Structure 1
Amino acid sequence: MCGIVGAIRSENNNVVDFLTDGLKRLEYRGYDSSGIAVLMNDKIKRVRRVGRVANMEDAAKEKGVFGQLGIGHTRWATHGGVTEPNAHPHISGGKIAVVHNGIIENFETERARLQALGYTFESQTDTEVISHSVRHEYDQNGGDLFAAVQAACKRFHGAYAIAVIAQDNAQNMVVARMGCPLLVALGENETFIASDVSAVISFTRKISYLEDGDIALLNAHGFVQLVDKSGKQVERVIKNSELSLASLELGAYNHFMQKEIYEQPRAVADTAEVFLDGGFIAENFGNNAKQIFEDIDSIKILACGTSYYAALTGKYWLESIAKIPTDVEIASEYRYRDVIANPKQLIITISQSGETLDTMEALKFAKSLGHQHSLSICNVMESALPRNSELVLYTRAGAEIGVASTKAFTTQLVVLFGLSVTLGRLRHQISDEKLASYTQELRELSGSLQHALNLEPQIATWAQKFAKKSSTLFLGRGIHYPIALEGALKLKEITYIHAEAYPAGELKHGPLALVDENMPIVVIAPKDGLLDKVKANMQEVSARGGELFVFTDLDSEYESSANNIHVIRTPRHAGTLSPIVHTIPVQLLSYHAALARGTDVDKPRNLAKSVTVE
Structure 2
Amino acid sequence: MTTTAREIASQPKIWRCALADHSAQATDLLSLPGSRVLVLGCGTSAFVAESFAVLREAAGLGQTDAAYASEPWPWRDYDAVIVLSRSGTTTEVIAALDALPDGVRTIAVTGVADSPIAQRADDVLLLDFADEESVVQTRFPTTILLLARNAFGEDVGGLPGQAEIALAQPSGIDVSRYTHFVYLGSGWTYGLAQEAALKIREAAQAWAESYPALDYRHGPLAVADDRSLVWIIGPVEASLIRDIEHTGATVITGTQDPLVELALTQQLAVAIAEYRGLNPDTPRHLTRSIVLS
TM-score normalized with structure 1 length: 0.45
- Alignment identity in percent? 25
Give the partner amino acid of 1:380: V
Is the Cα contact below 8 Å between 1:270 and 1:396 reproduced in 2?
A: no
Residue among 549, 552, 565 paired with 2:254: 552
Partner in structure 1 of residue 87 of structure 2:
353
Partner in structure 1 of residue 220 of structure 2:
511
Partner in structure 2 of residue 605 of structure 1:
284
Is the Cα contact below 8 Å between 1:393 and 1:415 reproduced in 2?
A: no
What count of residue pairs does the alignment treat as equivalent? 293
Residue among 142, 146, 150 paired with 1:410: 142
User: What is the rounded CA distance, in whole Å, between the counterparts of 2:229 and 2:258 in structure 1?
Assistant: 21
Mean CA deviation greater in 398-407 or 513-522: 513-522
Q: SS at the partner of 2:83?
A: strand
Question: Does structure 1 residue 536 correspond to structure 2 residue 239?
Answer: yes
Is the Cα contact below 8 Å between 1:302 and 1:350 reproduced in 2?
A: yes
Question: Does structure 1 residue 400 correspond to structure 2 residue 102?
Answer: no
- For residues 17-73 of structure 1, the C-alpha deviation after alignment (integer angstroms, 9 at most, x for no partner) is xxxxxxxxxxxxxxxxxxxxxxxxxxxxxxxxxxxxxxxxxxxxxxxxxxxxxxxxx
Is the Cα contact below 8 Å between 1:265 and 1:450 reproduced in 2?
A: yes
Q: SS at the partner of 1:360?
A: helix
- For residues 89-132 of structure 1, the C-alpha deviation after alignment (integer angstroms, 9 at most, x for no partner) is xxxxxxxxxxxxxxxxxxxxxxxxxxxxxxxxxxxxxxxxxxxx
User: What is the rounded CA distance, in whole Å, between the counterparts of 1:474 and 1:317 in structure 2?
Assistant: 19
Partner in structure 1 of residue 17 of structure 2:
270
Q: SS at the partner of 1:499?
A: strand
Q: SS at the partner of 1:516?
A: coil
In structure 2, list runs of 5 or more residues that go unmatched: none
Name the larger-Rg structure: 1
- For residues 486-518 of structure 1, the C-alpha deviation after alignment (integer angstroms, 9 at most, x for no partner) is 110000001111211001101221111112223
Q: How far apart are residue 279 of structure 1 and its match? A: 8.1
Give the partner amino acid of 1:346: A
Q: SS at the partner of 1:458?
A: coil
Q: How far apart are residue 299 of structure 1 and its match? A: 0.7
Residue among 348, 369, 373 paired with 2:105: 373
Partner in structure 2 of residue 147 of structure 1:
none
User: What is the rounded CA distance, in whole Å, between the counterparts of 2:190 and 2:241 in structure 1?
Assistant: 15
Give the partner amino acid of 2:89: E
Partner in structure 1 of residue 117 of structure 2:
385
- For residues 439-466 of structure 1, the C-alpha deviation after alignment (integer angstroms, 9 at most, x for no partner) is xx332121111012123x224x433323
User: What is the rounded CA distance, in whole Å, between the counterparts of 1:275 and 1:607 in structure 2?
Assistant: 31
Equivalent runs, 1:152-171 vs 2, <5 Å: none
User: What is the rounded CA distance, in whole Å, between the counterparts of 1:545 and 1:399 in structure 2?
Assistant: 40
Is the Cα contact below 8 Å between 2:88 and 2:115 reproduced in 1?
A: yes
Equivalent runs, 1:330-479 vs 2, <5 Å: 330-334=68-72, 339-342=74-77, 344-366=78-100, 369-370=101-102, 372-421=104-153, 438=154, 441-455=155-169, 457-459=170-172, 461-466=173-178, 469=179, 471-479=180-188
Q: How far apart are residue 419 of structure 1 and its match? A: 4.0
Partner in structure 2 of residue 34 of structure 1:
none
Give the partner amino acid of 2:134: G
Equivalent runs, 1:47-126 vs 2, <5 Å: none
Partner in structure 1 of residue 273 of structure 2:
594
User: What is the rounded CA distance, in whole Å, between the counterparts of 1:474 and 1:320 in structure 2?
Assistant: 23
Q: How far apart are residue 580 of structure 1 and its match? A: 1.6
User: What is the rounded CA distance, in whole Å, between the counterparts of 2:99 and 2:216 in structure 1?
Assistant: 37
User: What is the rounded CA distance, in whole Å, between the counterparts of 2:132 and 2:22 in structure 1?
Assistant: 23
Q: How far apart are residue 399 of structure 1 and its match? A: 4.0
Is the Cα contact below 8 Å between 1:268 and 1:396 reproduced in 2?
A: no
In structure 2, the CA distance between the partners of 1:322 and 1:400, relative to structure 1 (3 Å rule), is same
In structure 2, the CA distance between the partners of 1:597 and 1:307, relative to structure 1 (3 Å rule), is same
Partner in structure 2 of residue 581 of structure 1:
260
Structure 1 or 2: larger strand share? 1
Is the Cα contact below 8 Å between 2:69 and 2:96 reproduced in 1?
A: yes
User: What is the rounded CA distance, in whole Å, between the counterparts of 1:279 and 1:350 in structure 2?
Assistant: 16
User: What is the rounded CA distance, in whole Å, between the counterparts of 1:517 and 1:465 in structure 2?
Assistant: 8
In structure 2, the CA distance between the partners of 1:255 and 1:451, relative to structure 1 (3 Å rule), is same
User: What is the rounded CA distance, in whole Å, between the counterparts of 1:503 and 1:443 in structure 2?
Assistant: 28
Q: SS at the partner of 2:107?
A: strand
In structure 1, list runs of 5 or more residues that go unmatched: 1-253, 422-437, 554-569, 571-577
Is the Cα contact below 8 Å between 2:113 and 2:128 reproduced in 1?
A: no
Q: How far apart are residue 297 of structure 1 and its match? A: 3.0
In structure 2, the CA distance between the partners of 1:479 and 1:380, relative to structure 1 (3 Å rule), is same
Is the Cα contact below 8 Å between 2:83 and 2:108 reproduced in 1?
A: yes
Is the Cα contact below 8 Å between 1:347 and 1:374 reproduced in 2?
A: yes
Give the partner amino acid of 1:541: I
Q: SS at the partner of 1:355?
A: coil
Q: SS at the partner of 2:211?
A: strand
- For residues 357-416 of structure 1, the C-alpha deviation after alignment (integer angstroms, 9 at most, x for no partner) is 1111111112xx345111111111221112111111112444411111111111111232
Give the partner amino acid of 1:385: I
Partner in structure 2 of residue 179 of structure 1:
none
- For residues 498-546 of structure 1, the C-alpha deviation after alignment (integer angstroms, 9 at most, x for no partner) is 211001101221111112223322222x4xxx43x2x221111111222
User: What is the rounded CA distance, in whole Å, between the counterparts of 1:585 and 1:418 in structure 2?
Assistant: 21
Is the Cα contact below 8 Å between 2:175 and 2:275 reproduced in 1?
A: yes
Give the partner amino acid of 1:458: S
User: What is the rounded CA distance, in whole Å, between the counterparts of 1:280 and 1:412 in structure 2?
Assistant: 9
In structure 2, the CA distance between the partners of 1:380 and 1:608, relative to structure 1 (3 Å rule), is same
Question: Does structure 1 residue 312 correspond to structure 2 residue 50?
Answer: yes
- For residues 220-257 of structure 1, the C-alpha deviation after alignment (integer angstroms, 9 at most, x for no partner) is xxxxxxxxxxxxxxxxxxxxxxxxxxxxxxxxxx2110
Q: How far apart are residue 323 of structure 1 and its match? A: 3.1
